[in-house]
Structure 1
Amino acid sequence: MKTRIEHIIVAAILSAVLTTTISCEKFVETDFPNNQLPTEVVFEDEQTAEAALAGLYAGLWTNSLISGGIDGMGALMGTYADDLTCVYTSGSNGILDIANNQQVATNTVVTTAWTNAYGQIYAANSIIEGVTNSKSLSQASKDRIKGEALFVRSIIYFNLYQIFGEIAYTETTNYVINSQLGRMNKDQLLIKLETDLSEAVNLLPSAYRNAERIYPNKFAGYMALAKMKMLLKKWAEAEVLCSTVLQSSQYTFQTDPSKVFQKNGTHIIWQLKPKNTNDATKEASLYNFTGAPLSFVLNLNLINTFSSGDLRRQHYITAVPFNQQLNYRSSKYKNLAVNNPNEYSIIYRLDEVNFMMAESLIEQNKAVEAVPYINRSCQRAGLPALSTSLTVSAATAELREEKRREFFVEHGIRFFDLKRWGLLDQLIPVKTNWKSYHAQWPIPQKELLLNPNLNPQNTGY
């Protein structure tokens, strides 16, 4: 009988394997090394299975599409659209081409985004297979661990689809299958993801397993599923899901704009914890500068949408003088270095559910019911409440402007909204090189060479 210490060592090994970036060419089946134990052993008990799951979350923090750093959608899609202006002086990392809407299939940022995402999908599939086949885990543990891994996999696929369009979908770690996958038809893919998120919701518990809300629960699943329903224009179903979250006693709207990005708020639905205690969030590190800007500044087009009395301009934005010029940085997250006792990277917050609810209602011609959900953000920002007598058209316009001001540089929300609304070409006056086909990124050339079944390349590339 193996000891618990041996189990933990095995889980640590698997955790390291699962969080390593895995491209399609690395889905190779080999004999298990003599100094390691098969995956089945890792899922022999709950503690080792949890260690494997922790590896998946570590990868999300470090270099995923939902990371708050340079690999994440906040930065990538923020500079790709009109939240951010890139000030890097070297284009060697591919960021400048992304910012200038001149990406090609060999762009390193495009390749890294795809590769990291599929590495994490592989990790999630390994966990799902492991707990499904485990003969010793309790059914409750199996359900929760599978639910979390399925939730993570689903949102990765969802974000990949929004960036790349039709993509390969896999539920297995089998190399032979994965190396020959083609891109799944859009309609089929969205049905798959809707089904997967529905299953995740059923498996996830309502209660958080950690008071800091660093692991998703059923309500995070409801929110993710509502996003999917909105993409599918299933507005009534999205309304029901949003209402379920908003009515939960676990969540309370945060009325103080200075506390929105503090980790202990009951408006937080899901957040990622920094790797080390008191480390800065990746957002704080990436966007901070005190003289010359280092990476990104806020787009002046965005800055000009804020009125002088908007408290978000005071709490979320900092003007930095340099060479007789003002540059603006995002200061939603403020704590730097190892002086960060109260900030984690927020992925889902209740504020977004309010806007999702409002949009779902407006799309059903219920503008009167929708306006109060928009007003929560307006009034927290010190702005007058919108009239509940707004027409559907006027309510739509207010929602779109207000949502931009509330969620800039957060996980690509601005880009994905414009895409869902069919308004990406509104970027043309702001983004010199914008073309309609830029609604999708190219499939990385490296992946097309490894697996020709991923062809054809996206239009325009």
Structure 2
Amino acid sequence: MKNIINSIIALLLMLYAALSAVSCEKFIETDFPNNQLATEQVFEDEKTADAALAGLYSGLWTSSVISGTTDGSGALLGNYTDDITCVFTSAGNGILDIYHNQPLATNATVSQVWTTAYQQVYMANSIIEGVEKSKSLSVSAKSRIKGEAMLVRSLIYYYLYQMYGEIPYTTTTDYVYNSTLSRIPKNEFLPRLEADISEAVNLLPSAYRNAERIYINKAAGLVLQAKMKMMLGRWQETEALCQTIIQNADYVFQNDPSKVFQKTGKHIIWQLKPKNNTDPTSEAVLYNFVGAPTSFILNPDLISSFSATDLRRQNYFTPVLFGSQTNYKQTKYKITTATNTTEYSIIYRLEDVCLMLAEALTMQNKTTQAVPFINQTRQRAGLTPLSTSISQAQAMEEIKNERRKEFFAEHGSRFIDLKRWGQLDLLQPVKPNWKATNQYLPLPQKEMLLNSHLTPQNDGY
């Protein structure tokens, strides 16, 4: 059995690596043999099916919209907004053009994000199809595995929509169908995505299948569902979903700011484990520098938003002196060498849920109820708690401030928040090239050449 599982994982990783070298459209136009993924052998029991899922999770860690790499949304969208300043002197991957808000349809990173995302959508669909066809998996195993794959697919679609606007949507591995996919209008796409997330949440168990919370469970699904409701402006539903998570005794707010990014915290809802034991997180490596910065520094405008007494100054970033200049590096994750035993890459944490709940309450003019949830991150940071008598407008402003300071460079939070608030134009003073059309990235040119159904290109490109 162990050899079968190892073979499946190796096969999936090799398939993923091979696909990374080709475009998404070329991939989905290729008729891969059915026995490469969705076979009776892979889905004959829970262990081998979980091995298939392991390949999908491995891809999320290595390169995806939620990875800690340059093409993950943390770096990509942090660099695109005002979280991060790019200091590359030149960058063949196009990341420097993204920092200057001048990405072209030929930008390599823009293309990489799209291609990798649709490869992972295909892999998720393969797992879902395999589970549905299986005659030997138990009902509970089918539900859980399908739920995990569906939520991964939904998460990828959520980010693709945030970054590219209207996009193709598919739930099949049928290469003929996929080769002519069109972008679908948001009034069709969003209900489909919403329904998928809801189905995944209903399928997922509350219990984790690993104590380290490295796999999706129902609470992780509820977080994505709440984010979807927020995007749609459904505040009462957002409130109910967030309350469900907060009232769950499995999750406890972390009051020590020095322990927020340690893997054992009960505030963690979902995190990704590094590929190898003791590997540092990708984020720790990406943002680390000594002396002269070589890739990214934290944006001075972000640094100036923190008061001198805010404990996040000590715990979330570090000054680095080079000559007469002080630059700041993100140090949410501390360990940069292969000695890591305490940190995984956190995707969802309770602080996000608390501030989402505060926003949902504030938008319903329940300010008195919202303020305690704003105060949780403020007081942990050593700041004076807000009065519950502040106005709705003041509460909303404080939520915006807290979200910026708490989640900078985490999974595109700043970009998504500003878009939800209709305030992307606030980037203009800090990012002089910012234009209204920058709310979306361009669709990759090579994908549009391969599939004429992807037209039209996004405005401004």
Return the TM-score normalized by structure 2. Answer: 0.97
Match of 1:201 in 2: 201
* 1:337 counterpart = 2:347: no
Q: Secondary structure, in 3 states, of the residue corresponding to 2:321? A: strand
**Which amino acid counterpart does residue 156 of structure 2 have in structure 1?**
I
Structure 1: distance between partners of 2:224 and 2:127: 20
**Which amino acid counterpart does residue 55 of structure 1 have in structure 2?**
G
Q: Secondary structure, in 3 states, of the residue corresponding to 1:130? A: helix
- Decide which of 7, 11, 14 is 1:13's aligned counterpart: 11
**Which amino acid counterpart does residue 398 of structure 1 have in structure 2?**
E
**Which amino acid counterpart does residue 190 of structure 1 have in structure 2?**
L
Q: Secondary structure, in 3 states, of the residue corresponding to 1:228? A: helix
Structure 2: distance between partners of 1:84 and 1:11: 35
User: Alpha-carbon deviations, 1:110-142, whole Å to 9, x = none?
Assistant: 000000100100010000000010111111111
* 1:448 counterpart = 2:448: yes
Structure 1: distance between partners of 2:391 and 2:43: 56
Match of 2:413 in 1: 413
Are the structure 2 counterparts of residues 37 and 116 from structure 1 closer, same or farther at C-alpha, using a change threshold of 3 Å?
Answer: closer
Bigger CA drift: 245-254 or 336-345? 336-345
- Which residues of structure 1 form unaligned runs of 5+? none
Structure 2: distance between partners of 1:374 and 1:429: 27
Are the structure 2 counterparts of residues 410 and 11 from structure 1 closer, same or farther at C-alpha, using a change threshold of 3 Å?
Answer: closer
**Which amino acid counterpart does residue 24 of structure 1 have in structure 2?**
E
Match of 2:220 in 1: 220
Match of 1:63 in 2: 63
Return the TM-score normalized by structure 1. Answer: 0.97
Report the CA distance between 1:10 and its aligned residue.
Answer: 4.4
Structure 2: distance between partners of 1:456 and 1:106: 15
* 1:27 counterpart = 2:28: yes
Are the structure 2 counterparts of residues 12 and 89 from structure 1 closer, same or farther at C-alpha, using a change threshold of 3 Å?
Answer: same
* 1:363 counterpart = 2:360: no
Are the structure 2 counterparts of residues 31 and 151 from structure 1 closer, same or farther at C-alpha, using a change threshold of 3 Å?
Answer: closer
Q: Contact 1:7/1:41 (CA < 8 Å) preserved in 2?
A: no
Q: Contact 1:281/1:333 (CA < 8 Å) preserved in 2?
A: yes
1:307-386 paired onto structure 2 within 5 Å: 307-386=307-386
Are the structure 2 counterparts of residues 237 and 31 from structure 1 closer, same or farther at C-alpha, using a change threshold of 3 Å?
Answer: closer
Report the CA distance between 1:40 and its aligned residue.
Answer: 3.1
Match of 1:279 in 2: 279
Identity of aligned residues (%): 59
**Which amino acid counterpart does residue 102 of structure 1 have in structure 2?**
Q
Q: Contact 1:15/1:51 (CA < 8 Å) preserved in 2?
A: no
Match of 1:137 in 2: 137
Report the CA distance between 1:33 and its aligned residue.
Answer: 8.9
Structure 2: distance between partners of 1:126 and 1:93: 30
Match of 2:94 in 1: 94
Q: Contact 1:14/1:39 (CA < 8 Å) preserved in 2?
A: no
Q: Secondary structure, in 3 states, of the residue corresponding to 1:39? A: coil
Match of 2:177 in 1: 177
Q: Secondary structure, in 3 states, of the residue corresponding to 2:320? A: strand
Structure 1: distance between partners of 2:9 and 2:58: 14
Report the CA distance between 1:12 and its aligned residue.
Answer: 3.5
Structure 2: distance between partners of 1:15 and 1:272: 16
Are the structure 2 counterparts of residues 189 and 301 from structure 1 closer, same or farther at C-alpha, using a change threshold of 3 Å?
Answer: same
Match of 2:433 in 1: 433
Report the CA distance between 1:70 and its aligned residue.
Answer: 1.1
Structure 2: distance between partners of 1:33 and 1:67: 29
Report the CA distance between 1:73 and its aligned residue.
Answer: 0.6
Are the structure 2 counterparts of residues 62 and 136 from structure 1 closer, same or farther at C-alpha, using a change threshold of 3 Å?
Answer: same
Structure 2: distance between partners of 1:423 and 1:114: 25
Match of 2:210 in 1: 210
Match of 2:188 in 1: 188
Report the CA distance between 1:14 and its aligned residue.
Answer: 3.8
1:245-324 paired onto structure 2 within 5 Å: 245-324=245-324
Report the CA distance between 1:89 and its aligned residue.
Answer: 1.0
Are the structure 2 counterparts of residues 383 and 11 from structure 1 closer, same or farther at C-alpha, using a change threshold of 3 Å?
Answer: closer
Q: Give the RMSD, CA atoms, in angstroms.
A: 1.5
Structure 1: distance between partners of 2:34 and 2:40: 14
User: Alpha-carbon deviations, 1:248-285, whole Å to 9, x = none?
Assistant: 01000000000000000000000000001011000000
Structure 1: distance between partners of 2:378 and 2:14: 44
**Which amino acid counterpart does residue 111 of structure 1 have in structure 2?**
S
Q: Contact 2:37/2:126 (CA < 8 Å) preserved in 1?
A: no
Q: Secondary structure, in 3 states, of the residue corresponding to 1:318? A: strand
Q: Contact 1:355/1:399 (CA < 8 Å) preserved in 2?
A: yes
**Which amino acid counterpart does residue 29 of structure 2 have in structure 1?**
V
Match of 1:230 in 2: 230
Q: Secondary structure, in 3 states, of the residue corresponding to 1:297? A: strand
Bigger CA drift: 13-22 or 94-103? 13-22
Report the CA distance between 1:15 and its aligned residue.
Answer: 4.8
Match of 2:74 in 1: 74
Structure 2: distance between partners of 1:32 and 1:155: 27
Report the CA distance between 1:8 and its aligned residue.
Answer: 4.9
Structure 2: distance between partners of 1:443 and 1:6: 40
Report the CA distance between 1:337 and its aligned residue.
Answer: 1.4
- Which residues of structure 2 form unaligned runs of 5+? none
Structure 1: distance between partners of 2:32 and 2:387: 67
Match of 1:243 in 2: 243
Q: Contact 2:262/2:344 (CA < 8 Å) preserved in 1?
A: yes
Structure 2: distance between partners of 1:154 and 1:145: 14
Q: Secondary structure, in 3 states, of the residue corresponding to 1:374? A: helix
Structure 1: distance between partners of 2:456 and 2:412: 26
1:101-112 paired onto structure 2 within 5 Å: 101-112=101-112
